[in-house]
């Protein structure tokens, strides 16, 4: 690298030695290089034995022949000395350790003796106390016996001697299965105490049982435990009653319970329960669910009483007592606005709200919570549900919450009765709720309210102007015209209904809206239907529960309570419920939790069993079993009005004295989610005549277990319904949909005709299967396939997600956007119960 010019070499400090190497090159040039070498570690062989205090070196250690290389005499001597010193120190330490050990053992012995003495003392005191208590007890019993004998000399009274014999005879063995009394447990505990004493005497060995029962034999007690014991002893010495009286509890036992909940219900320590279960051979953690039989064993072991409750009994804590008529006070009616899209539902709700907010309440800041309350000029309170549309209405009804008292049917005066108007009429009729017709947009030049009225006649809605009993009012949501008359009409209708509720009871209400608010957690708008909801109330709502943390009214103000027909936002839920869920106030959190858990469980079961909920067969089976359900409800959707009406007429002719068919609702067009909602609420199957359910409706139906049946021939349809109605269902030809394909492009191919280039969107396309051509969810052709091609090859099957070419046998009118439904038929034996 460099000639030795005084530069330092790079290298390890200290250890390495450096040296010079001379390099020679051609032409006589030389170069001297500094190299460094590492010193090797020298291993010194250990001297074999050195006598402590031998001073200096031993004979062998000093032997220069055995001396490791490179060590001077002086160094060796130094090392030997150090070694000797270390040895001496070690010996000293050992001696010290031994002495310490001995002292500790003595200390331990002394402490144990102390504890033993203390225990003995305690035991004696305990026994003395107990003897005293027993003596007293005996005296009492004797007195009672004497009294009893005096009162009823015929009855064989137990003599004191008998009683004594009884106490002496109480079982000593441990039988955990047989129910035992608390007295038995007392003796049992004594026996256990004796055993523990024995164990402590035979200390040193740890048996499995000791380990499990935590006996002192195997373990040192913790300081805290000793302290507790001393405290107890001190209290006892001061004459205080330490042993609390055993309270026998009635333990409600559902079909399954967690170990922790069981302990809570018995008011025992979870650890004790776990310990007992271990002894029974069940290794359970506190969150583990055990069945009722095992739980019963535990409850009996702890000396409590078992009260078995079936799962659904948990709901019984909900206050279901009917109100005394004298407690009932008038309440505001609850109104839902329904009608065809764009006929002015939202505008009407806004107009009512604004009119009232401006003229009446101060502030005027309103917030949308799903419902609001207004007061009419005459002072009547009206509650409006602020969620127009039929979905909300039916979903609530389907969940068992009949919230609405009055339906306001909005029909635009410049339009006519439209499909959704008809749907609304059917919804109201199915729910048995009175209607008020609001003929809206009366300000428009094209308004023709008379036409609306006559139109309604066709749907069995006879308004007052047509000498019927349905109130009708001409309004304009835009100008506010007729608004007061509408409110008056509602108030009048409400008066007729004579709506009442009892504000002085645990609240019950229905959820109108619920969402998870980022800042506030789950929030639900609840319409109180009975009772009064207060802050701090514990409630269960659907599958959720909670404790009312805050109540916020429709004006955004915090309130302390909400009475009947008052909508409020409720904060303090543990989860988000669903619209239509019913809220009930209960007494304790445990009850609320239990009910919520039970419901969650039950609904899971129900979902699992869905798919077979509302079939024609079941409807009829139910109709047969339950004499009151003698009507077969049906929802019908058809491709054209003519066939729908023909089918309805044919269906309504079916039936006899026992059963008849009632078409709840019929319409033209695809089966929608709203239809499924109504079907679920009314427990009816949906029949599609040459129409199909759209995708959301299909999903909803399979989720809710609503049966959808498709027909293409009126005769088949009527035949099936007749068969269902008479309970004579023969073997059924069932259609299974195996796939759907969407037509992307249409090619003209000579000799073949039109070939549809499709994408299989669902399931499979099968060459041998039947096919239907759907346009806007309406069947326009049914037949078979002439060809099914994948690329250039004819194939038997094409899977979902793949493209293929299809051509129909004897049918050519295929268009892009059409859907091909692929189905197979199978014969199914019906089993009617």
State in angstroms the smallest separation of the CB of 487 from ligand GDP. Answer: 15
Is the C-alpha dihedral spanning 384, 390, 395, 398 positive or negative?
positive
State in angstroms the smallest separation of the CB of 342 from ligand GDP. Answer: 4
Nearest 5 degrees, angle CA 347-CA 438-CA 481?
A: 65
Is the CB of 412 or the CB of 724 nearer to ligand GDP? 412
- Distance CA(685)–CA(709), nearest Å, equals 8
C-alpha 217: how far from chain center: 46
Is the CB of 62 or the CB of 480 nearer to ligand GDP? 480
Is the CB of 441 or the CB of 665 nearer to ligand GDP? 441
Using CB under 6 A, list all residues that contact ligand GDP.
Answer: 339, 341-347, 388, 440-441, 443-444, 476-478
State in angstroms the smallest separation of the CB of 493 from ligand GDP. Answer: 21
- Distance CA(373)–CA(470), nearest Å, equals 24
Is the CB of 339 or the CB of 564 nearer to ligand GDP? 339
Is the CB of 339 or the CB of 531 nearer to ligand GDP? 339
- Distance CA(125)–CA(129), nearest Å, equals 6
Question: DSSP class of residue 627?
Answer: T
The tally of CA atoms less than 13 A away on the side-chain side of residue 188 is 14
State in angstroms the smallest separation of the CB of 772 from ligand GDP. Answer: 34
State in angstroms the smallest separation of the CB of 470 from ligand GDP. Answer: 20
State in angstroms the smallest separation of the CB of 680 from ligand GDP. Answer: 24
DSSP 294-322: HHHHHHHHTT-EEEE--GGGGGGGS--PP
- Distance CA(514)–CA(92), nearest Å, equals 79
Is the CB of 474 or the CB of 673 nearer to ligand GDP? 474
Structure tokens at 258: 């967690």
Structure tokens at 338: 């329904």
State in angstroms the smallest separation of the CB of 520 from ligand GDP. Answer: 28
Is the CB of 128 or the CB of 341 nearer to ligand GDP? 341
- Distance CA(803)–CA(790), nearest Å, equals 7
Is the CB of 142 or the CB of 443 nearer to ligand GDP? 443
State in angstroms the smallest separation of the CB of 674 from ligand GDP. Answer: 14
727 exposed, middle or buried (CB, 10 Å; 0-12, 13-18, 19+)?
Answer: middle
CA distances to 394, 489, 497, 567 from 373, rounded to whole Å, are 22, 16, 18, 8
- Distance CA(453)–CA(466), nearest Å, equals 7
Q: Which of 381, 730, 441, 756 minimizes the C-alpha distance to 566?
A: 381
- C-beta neighbour count of 750 within 10 angstroms: 5
List of residues 6+ apart from 233 with CB closer than 8 A: 118, 122, 125
Is the CB of 440 or the CB of 530 nearer to ligand GDP? 440
Is the CB of 391 or the CB of 759 nearer to ligand GDP? 391
User: How big is the chain by its Cα radius of gyration, in Å?
Assistant: 45
Secondary structure of residue 269 in the 3-state scheme: coil
State in angstroms the smallest separation of the CB of 417 from ligand GDP. Answer: 14
Is the CB of 428 or the CB of 686 nearer to ligand GDP? 428
State in angstroms the smallest separation of the CB of 578 from ligand GDP. Answer: 23
C-alpha 9: how far from chain center: 77
Is the CB of 410 or the CB of 701 nearer to ligand GDP? 410
**Region of 495 on the Ramachandran plot (φ > 0 left; ψ -120 to 50 alpha; else beta):** alpha
State in angstroms the smallest separation of the CB of 388 from ligand GDP. Answer: 5
State in angstroms the smallest separation of the CB of 374 from ligand GDP. Answer: 18
- 758 neighbors 742 (Cβ within 8 angstroms): yes
Is the CB of 309 or the CB of 478 nearer to ligand GDP? 478
Helices and strands counted in the chain (H then E): 19, 35
- 681 neighbors 711 (Cβ within 8 angstroms): no
List of residues 6+ apart from 442 with CB closer than 8 A: 413, 449, 474, 475, 476, 481, 482
The tally of CA atoms less than 13 A away on the side-chain side of residue 229 is 14
Is the C-alpha dihedral spanning 223, 226, 228, 234 positive or negative?
negative
Secondary structure of residue 690 in the 3-state scheme: coil
State in angstroms the smallest separation of the CB of 341 from ligand GDP. Answer: 5
Structure tokens at 518: 């980022």
State in angstroms the smallest separation of the CB of 346 from ligand GDP. Answer: 3
Is the CB of 332 or the CB of 417 nearer to ligand GDP? 417
Is the CB of 394 or the CB of 476 nearer to ligand GDP? 476
Beta bridge partners, 169, equal none
- Where b means 16+ CB within 10 Å and e means fewer, 198-207 reads ebeeeeeeee
CA distances to 313, 399, 437, 583, 681 from 704, rounded to whole Å, are 25, 11, 32, 22, 10
State in angstroms the smallest separation of the CB of 483 from ligand GDP. Answer: 10
- 516 neighbors 546 (Cβ within 8 angstroms): no
State in angstroms the smallest separation of the CB of 486 from ligand GDP. Answer: 12
State in angstroms the smallest separation of the CB of 717 from ligand GDP. Answer: 33
Is the CB of 149 or the CB of 444 nearer to ligand GDP? 444
Is the CB of 290 or the CB of 424 nearer to ligand GDP? 424
């Amino acid at each position: 690298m460099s000639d030795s010019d005084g530069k330092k070499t790079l290298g390890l400090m200290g250890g390495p030695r450096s040296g010079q190497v001379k390099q020679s090159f051609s032409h006589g040039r030389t170069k001297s290089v500094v190299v460094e070498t590492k010193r090797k570690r020298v291993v010194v062989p250990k001297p074999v034995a050195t006598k402590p205090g031998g001073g200096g070196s031993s004979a062998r250690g000093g032997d220069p022949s055995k001396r490791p290389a490179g060590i001077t005499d002086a160094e060796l001597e130094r090392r030997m000395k150090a070694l000797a010193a270390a040895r001496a120190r070690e010996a000293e330490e050992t001696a010290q350790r031994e002495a310490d050990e001995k002292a500790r053992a003595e200390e331990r012995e002394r402490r144990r003796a102390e504890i033993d003495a203390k225990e003995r003392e305690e035991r004696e005191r305990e026994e003395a106390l107990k003897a005293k208590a027993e003596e007293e007890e005996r005296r009492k019993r004797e007195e009672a016996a004497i009294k009893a004998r005096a009162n009823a000399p015929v009855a064989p009274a137990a003599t004191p001697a008998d009683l004594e014999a009884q106490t002496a005879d109480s079982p000593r063995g441990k039988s955990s299965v047989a129910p035992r009394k608390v007295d038995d447990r007392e003796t049992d505990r004594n026996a256990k105490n004796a055993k523990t004493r024995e164990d402590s005497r035979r200390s040193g060995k740890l048996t499995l049982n000791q380990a499990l029962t935590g006996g002192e034999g195997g373990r040192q007690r913790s300081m805290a435990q000793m302290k507790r014991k001393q405290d107890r002893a001190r209290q006892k010495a001061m004459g205080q009653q330490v042993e609390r009286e055993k309270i026998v509890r009635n333990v409600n036992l559902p079909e399954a319970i967690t170990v922790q909940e069981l302990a809570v219900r018995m008011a025992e320590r979870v650890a004790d329960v776990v310990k007992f279960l271990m002894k029974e051979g069940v290794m359970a953690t506190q969150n583990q669910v055990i069945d009722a039989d095992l739980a019963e064993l535990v409850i009996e072991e702890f000396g409590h009483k078992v009260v078995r409750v079936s799962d659904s009994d948990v709901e019984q804590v909900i206050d279901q007592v009917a109100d005394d008529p004298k407690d009932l006070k008038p309440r505001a009616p609850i109104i839902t606005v329904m009608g065809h899209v764009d006929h002015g539902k939202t505008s009407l709700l806004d107009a009512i709200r604004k009119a009232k907010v401006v003229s009446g309440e101060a502030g005027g800041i309103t917030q949308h919570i799903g419902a609001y309350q207004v007061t009419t000029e005459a002072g009547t309170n009206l509650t409006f549900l602020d969620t127009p549309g039929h979905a909300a209405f039916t979903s609530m009804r389907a969940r068992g919450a009949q919230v609405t008292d009055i339906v306001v049917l909005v029909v635009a005066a410049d339009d006519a009765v439209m499909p959704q108007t008809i749907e609304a009429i059917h919804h109201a009729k199915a729910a048995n709720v009175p209607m008020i017709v609001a003929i809206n947009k009366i300000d428009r030049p094209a308004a023709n309210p008379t036409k609306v009225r006559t139109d309604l006649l066709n749907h069995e809605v006879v308004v007052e102007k047509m000498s019927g009993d349905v109130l009708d009012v001409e309004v304009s949501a835009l100008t506010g015209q007729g608004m007061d008359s509408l409110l008056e009409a509602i108030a009048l209708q409400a008066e007729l209904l004579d709506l009442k509720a009892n504000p002085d009871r645990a609240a019950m209400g229905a959820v109108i809206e619920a969402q998870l608010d980022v800042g506030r957690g789950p929030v639900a708008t609840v319409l109180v239907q009975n009772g009064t909801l207060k802050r701090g109330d514990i409630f269960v709502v659907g599958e959720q529960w909670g404790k009312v943390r805050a109540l916020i009214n429709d004006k955004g103000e915090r309130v302390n309570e909400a009475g009947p027909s008052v909508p409020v936002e409720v904060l303090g839920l543990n989860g988000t419920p669903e619209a239509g869920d019913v809220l009930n106030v209960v007494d304790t959190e445990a009850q609320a939790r239990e009910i919520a858990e039970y419901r969650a469980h039950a609904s899971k079961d129900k979902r699992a069993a869905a798919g077979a909920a509302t079939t024609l067969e079941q409807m009829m089976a139910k109709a047969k079993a339950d004499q009151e359900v003698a009507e077969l409800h049906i929802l019908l959707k058809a491709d054209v009005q003519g066939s729908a009406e023909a089918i309805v007429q044919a269906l309504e002719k079916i039936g006899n004295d026992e059963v008849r068919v009632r078409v709840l609702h019929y319409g033209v067009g695809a089966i929608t989610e709203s239809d499924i909602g109504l079907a679920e609420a009314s427990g009816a199957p949906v029949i599609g005549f040459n129409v199909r359910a759209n995708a959301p409706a299909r999903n909803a139906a399979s989720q809710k277990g609503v049966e959808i049946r498709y027909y293409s021939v009126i005769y088949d349809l009527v035949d099936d319904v007749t068969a269902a109605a008479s309970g004579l269902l023969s073997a059924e030809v069932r259609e299974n949909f195996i796939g759907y394909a969407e037509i992307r492009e249409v090619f003209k191919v000579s000799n073949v005709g039109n070939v549809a280039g499709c994408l299989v969107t669902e399931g499979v396309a099968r060459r041998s299967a039947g096919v239907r051509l759907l346009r806007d969810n309406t069947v326009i052709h049914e037949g078979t396939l002439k060809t099914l091609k994948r690329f250039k090859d004819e194939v038997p099957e094409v899977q979902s997600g793949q493209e293929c070419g299809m051509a129909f046998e004897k049918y050519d009118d295929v268009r892009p956007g059409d859907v091909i439904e692929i189905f197979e038929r199978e014969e199914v034996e019906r089993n009617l119960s």
